[in-house]
Amino acid sequence: MARILINSIVLYLVAFIYDVNGKLSNKLVGGHNIHITSQPFQVSVRIYDNHHLCGGSIITPLHILTSASCVTSDVNIIYGNLKVLSGTSDGNNFNNFGTLSDVALVMIHHGYSPRDFWANDISILKLTESLYFSHTRGQINSPEALLTQAFSLQMIGFKSSNGRVSRMPVLSIKRFHCKKIFGAYGFMTLGQSCIKPTKETDEIHEGDGGNPVLSISSGSFIGIVSLITVSPNDPTVITELFGYYDKWMKPITEKF
């Protein structure tokens, strides 16, 4: 059973959304600008006077998928007053084309463990009202594939430089090499794998947590960004979703 907390009564510490320099979450560096109509499921999870916290994906008109590490500071400590910005290519929403929705419930996977190398780093946000689907707002396809080898992928997110929704080509790293890199920090679970930007000048930052990772060839929903390291040269850990859909995602959205 998922751990469910009512968002409006959970206390949160704003300091946790700042990095060591006291800045709000940075977003991806590089990538290519796209229009929201090509990836209408992409959203920005917001906090603290409507600032971007991390990314997410629309999975039903009422539910957003993101990482548990995005919306928590520790086990059982969930940020309050979360909002979701959808339906716009502009992550800053300067043109007011986007819709800002309140979050009613935060549902964290019951096995989420930041002390166990962020195992089961996945959460679902339930909105107070259903989203209206259009050419700029729609749900992502259900996860259909599991990474078994190196694949060419793409991460969708909002840019740091201009706030525009963008796609960044990334390459999946074989699990063997990923374990060698992170072995000193903990044991990676079967639901975790690694990605790295294809271009050396592209970077993934803390504001990219929860962003969807898709197959370039098929468009399949592969996973979401989980653990982002301090060094841009290190790979990023993602949570693969294939094993979660039938066992957790679908039951949660049907029940709540």
- pLDDT tens per residue, range 36-89: 999 999 999 999 778 899 999 999 999 999 999 999 988 778 999 999 999 999
Kindly state whether residue 24 falls inside one of the protein's structural domains. Answer: no
Task: Please check whether residues 109 and 235 belong to one and the same domain.
Answer: no
Q: Which domain holds residue 171?
A: 152-240
């959460």: which residue's tokens?
A: 123
Task: Please check whether residues 46 and 80 belong to one and the same domain.
Answer: yes
Task: Please check whether residues 52 and 115 belong to one and the same domain.
Answer: yes
Helix (H) or strand (E) holding 217: none
Q: What's the number of domains the chain is made of?
A: 2
Task: Please check whether residues 160 and 134 belong to one and the same domain.
Answer: no
C-alpha distance across the termini of the chain, in Å:
12
Kindly state whether residue 58 falls inside one of the protein's structural domains. Answer: yes
3-class SS of residue 123 = strand
Max intra-chain CA distance, the chain: 46
- pLDDT tens per residue, range 187-228: 678 889 999 999 988 989 888 999 999 998 888 899 999 988
Determine the Cα–Cα distance for residues 58 and 71; give it in Å rounded to an integer: 16
Supply the CATH number for residue 78's domain.
2.40.10.10
- pLDDT tens per residue, range 15-31: 333 332 333 566 678 78
Kindly list the distances between the CA atom of residue 73 and the CA atoms of 18, 67, 143, 185, 194, in Å, as whole numbers in the listed order.
Answer: 11, 12, 27, 19, 23
Determine the Cα–Cα distance for residues 151 and 82; give it in Å rounded to an integer: 34
Cβ contacts of residue 101 below 8 Å, gap of 6+? 83, 84, 85, 86, 127, 128, 129, 131
The predicted pLDDT at position 52 comes to 92
Task: Please check whether residues 119 and 161 belong to one and the same domain.
Answer: no
- Burial class (CB within 10 angstroms; exposed 0-12, middle 13-18, buried 19+) of 71: buried
Q: Please say whether the beta carbons of 213 and 219 come within 8 A.
A: no
From 143, 31, 142, select the one nearest 91 (Cα to Cα): 31
